[in-house]
C-alpha cells in the first residue's frame, strides 16, 4: 500500500507524523509523494493562524484530487471538523487524541512508542537530530490562541518511557535529542505514589541515565526556566539554547494577551542567563499588531528587543482566530501597519543574528551535520550543520581537507572562521 504523509505546523506535528510513518513502514506500507498515486493520504493540519487554516484546506483539496483515501488530523480539523468534511464527503477526520489509531486504520496493525526511532531517519526531518514529543496540550489560555482548545489540557509522558526512547535514539546513532511539546514547560508527571516530576527533574534524569551527546529543549516560557536548567547547561550536554516566546515588550499588551509575566522579569531572567552561560543563544517569538498595540506600545516592544541580546526572532503579524477572547477586543490594528511593524522587527532580527555570529568568530563549537554535501547560497560545495547554541554553520569542502564525507548526523568539532550574510562559516578542528 502506498501512503503519502503531509504535515503543516509545529515540531510536535512533525514528530507525530514521523511516529505515524514509523508504524506504517514497519507494517509494510510504502511512503510516497503526493504525485506518486498514493492509495491513502494523511494530512496533519495546523490552525495557529488564518494562513495555516488556508494552507490546511489547500492541502486537503490537493490530496482529494489524487483519488486517494484522505485522512485528516491535527488542529485545523479538530476545530473545524464539519468544514473539513464539507470539502469532500469521503474525508475521514481523526481527532488529535486519536492519532495513534491512524496506523491501525490503514494497515490493521497497532503500534508502539518505540516506532518513532526508525521513522526519523528519512531525509528532511530528524535524520540528524531526534525529535521526541514528551508533552501535549496546554492548561493556559492566552487570549489570542486556539491551540489549547484544539489540544486539550496539558498532559505528560511517562519519564520511564522517555528515558528508554532517549537511550534507543542514542544507541541508533543520534547525537542530539530535542524534547518537544505543545507547552513543554508544563511537563509534569505524577506516578501512582503521587510523586511528581517537572521538566528540570526530567532533564537531570535524562543526563544522568543516558549517554546522549546533546539534549535540546524546544521552547519554554520565561517563568519556566529555573536555576537548575541554567546550571545543567554548564555540563556541555544540555544545549546552550533557549527559545523563549516574548510576544510583546509592552506590559499592557502582555496583560491583554493574558501572558503570565511582565517585561521587567523577562529582562532580568535573560540578562542572568547571558551572564551565567557563555555564548548562549536566546531566541524569541513576537506578535505585531495585537489589538490595543498603538504606537507607544510598539515603541516599548522595539526598545526591549533592541536592549536584549537575542540571537534571532520569529515575527508574526497578529492573526485573529475565531472564538478567541482577543477576537472581540477593540483597538484593531490595520493590516498594512501590522506588516510594517513585523518588517521592522525582522530587520532588527537579522542585525542581531549577524552580531551574535560575529561574537563567536574564532570560537570552537560542536556541530551536528544536518545536510550532506551540496552547494550553498555562496555557490560553494560543502556541509551545513548546527551548533549546540543553535547557529547554522556552513563548512566549505575546501575547509575539510580532502577527501572527507560527513553524512547527516555526523558530530564534528569546528572553529567558526567568519560569516557570510547570516550564516557562520566553519572549519573542522581537533577535539574540543
Percent of the chain with pLDDT over 90: 84
Cα–Cα separations (whole angstroms), residue 397 to 100, 367, 406, 415, 427? 43, 15, 10, 14, 9
CA angle 363, 365, 366 (to 5 degrees): 170
Q: What are phi and psi of 248, to 5 degrees?
A: -155, 150
Residue 381: band (very low, low, confident or very high) from pLDDT cuts 50, 70, 90: confident
Q: How far is CA 291 from the centre of its chain?
A: 26
- For the segment 313-334, what is each residue's pLDDT rounded down to a tens digit? 999 999 999 999 999 999 999 9
> Which range (112-126, 269-283, 354-368) has the least confidence?
112-126
Can you list the domains of the chain with their CATH numbers? Answer: 2-113 (3.40.50.12160), 128-239 (3.30.750.210), 241-360 (3.30.750.200), 364-428 (2.40.50)
In the prediction, which pLDDT does 102 show?
Answer: 95
- For the segment 70-116, what is each residue's pLDDT rounded down to a tens digit? 999 999 999 999 999 999 999 999 999 999 899 999 998 765 444 33
Whether pLDDT at 127 is above 70: no
Beta strands in 214-363 (DSSP E): 214-217, 241-243, 281-288, 312-317
Alpha carbons 187 and 155: distance in angstroms, whole number: 7
Q: What are phi and psi of 64, to 5 degrees?
A: -60, -35
Amino acid at each position: 500500500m502506498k501512503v503519502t504523509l503531509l504535515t503543516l505546523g509545529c515540531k510536535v506535528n512533525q514528530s507525530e507524523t514521523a511516529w505515524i510513518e514509523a508504524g506504517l513502514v514497519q507494517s509494510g506500507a510504502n511512503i510516497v509523494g503526493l504525485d506518486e498515486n498514493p492509495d491513502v493520504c494523511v494530512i496533519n493540519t495546523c490552525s495557529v493562524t488564518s494562513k495555516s487554516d488556508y494552507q490546511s484546506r489547500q492541502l486537503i483539496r490537493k490530496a482529494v484530487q489524487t483519488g486517494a483515501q484522505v485522512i485528516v488530523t491535527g488542529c485545523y480539523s479538530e476545530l473545524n471538523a464539519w468544514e473539513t468534511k464539507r470539502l469532500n464527503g469521503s474525508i475521514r477526520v481523526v481527532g488529535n487524541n486519536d492519532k495513534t489509531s491512524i496506523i491501525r486504520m490503514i494497515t490493521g496493525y497497532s503500534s508502539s512508542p518505540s516506532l518513532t526511532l526508525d521513522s526519523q531517519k528519512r531525509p528532511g526531518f530528524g535524520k540528524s537530530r531526534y525529535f521526541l514529543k514528551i508533552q501535549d496540550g496546554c492548561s493556559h489560555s492566552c487570549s489570542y490562541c486556539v491551540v489549547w482548545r484544539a489540544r486539550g489540557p496539558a498532559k505528560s509522558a511517562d519519564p520511564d518511557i522517555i528515558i528508554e526512547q532517549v537511550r534507543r535514539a542514542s544507541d541508533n546513532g543520534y547525537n542530539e535529542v530535542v524534547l518537544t511539546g505543545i507547552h513543554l514547560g508544563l511537563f509534569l508527571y505524577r506516578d501512582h505514589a503521587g510523586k511528581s516530576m517537572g521538566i528540570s527533574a526530567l532533564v537531570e534524569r535524562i543526563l544522568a541515565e543516558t549517554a546522549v551527546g546533546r539534549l535540546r529543549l524546544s521552547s519554554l516560557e520565561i517563568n519556566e526556566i529555573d536555576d537548575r536548567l541554567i546550571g545543567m547547561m554548564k555540563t556541555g550536554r544540555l544545549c546552550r539554547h533557549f527559545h523563549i516566546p516574548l510576544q510583546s515588550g509592552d506590559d499592557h499588551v502582555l496583560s491583554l494577551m493574558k501572558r503570565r509575566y511582565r517585561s521587567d522579569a523577562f529582562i532580568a531572567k535573560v540578562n542572568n542567563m547571558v551572564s551565567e552561560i557563555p555564548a548562549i543563544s536566546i531566541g524569541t517569538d513576537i506578535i505585531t499588531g495585537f489589538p490595543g498595540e498603538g504606537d507607544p506600545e510598539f515603541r516599548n516592544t522595539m526598545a526591549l528587543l533592541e536592549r536584549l541580546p537575542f540571537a534571532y526572532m520569529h515575527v508574526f503579524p497578529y492573526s485573529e482566530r475565531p472564538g478567541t477572547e482577543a477576537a472581540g477586543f477593540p483597538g484593531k490594528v490595520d493590516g498594512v501597519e501590522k506588516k510594517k511593524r513585523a518588517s521592522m522587527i525582522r530587520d532588527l532580527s537579522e542585525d542581531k543574528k549577524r552580531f551574535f555570529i560575529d561574537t563567536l568568530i574564532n570560537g570552537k563549537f560542536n556541530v551536528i551535520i544536518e545536510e550532506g554535501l551540496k552547494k550553498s547560497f555562496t555557490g560553494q560545495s560543502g556541509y551545513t550543520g548546527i551548533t549546540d547554541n543553535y547557529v547554522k554553520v556552513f563548512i566549505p569542502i575546501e575547509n575539510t581537507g580532502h577527501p572527507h564525507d560527513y553524512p547527516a548526523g555526523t558530530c564534528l568539532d569546528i572553529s567558526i572562521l567568519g560569516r557570510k550574510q547570516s550564516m557562520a562559516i566553519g572549519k573542522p578542528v581537533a577535539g574540543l
